[in-house]
Amino acid sequence: PEIVFHQPGGRVATVETEAGVSVMRAAVQNAVEGIVGECGGQAMCATCHVLVHESVLDGLPPIGDDEEEMLDCTAAPRDPRRSRLGCQLIMGTDLPKVAVDVPETQL
């Protein structure tokens, strides 16, 4: 799977991951700036907030209850359509490619 991270300043980082790896984990492992992942992927911190590009929204898994709650606690404003927690987006055959904007701030 492939994840493309777009930084606020315009920089773009493309990361190849194994299946089963979340967007948050891939970002942390590849030192992608702006994704913190403080809670380690438990949907409890919202520091892995990403804004998913419109073109790939249809392929995403539905938002879970914990995720829904945490999305109201993001540091950057929540986008009603595009905001997701990176730790809840697991790459794999169901989600082979994703592109996200990294928010200005996570803390």
**Which residues lie near ligand FES (CB under 6 A)?**
24, 37-39, 41-48, 70, 85, 87
The smaller minimum CB distance to ligand FES, of residues 57 and 73, is found at: 73
| Least CB distance to ligand FES at residue 68 (A) | 12
The smaller minimum CB distance to ligand FES, of residues 4 and 44, is found at: 44
d(CA 5, CA 74): 18
Strands across the sheet with 12-16, in order?
A: 12-16, 2-6, 97-101, 49-52, 83-85
| Least CB distance to ligand FES at residue 83 (A) | 12
> ∠ CA 56-103-32 to the nearest 5 degrees?
85
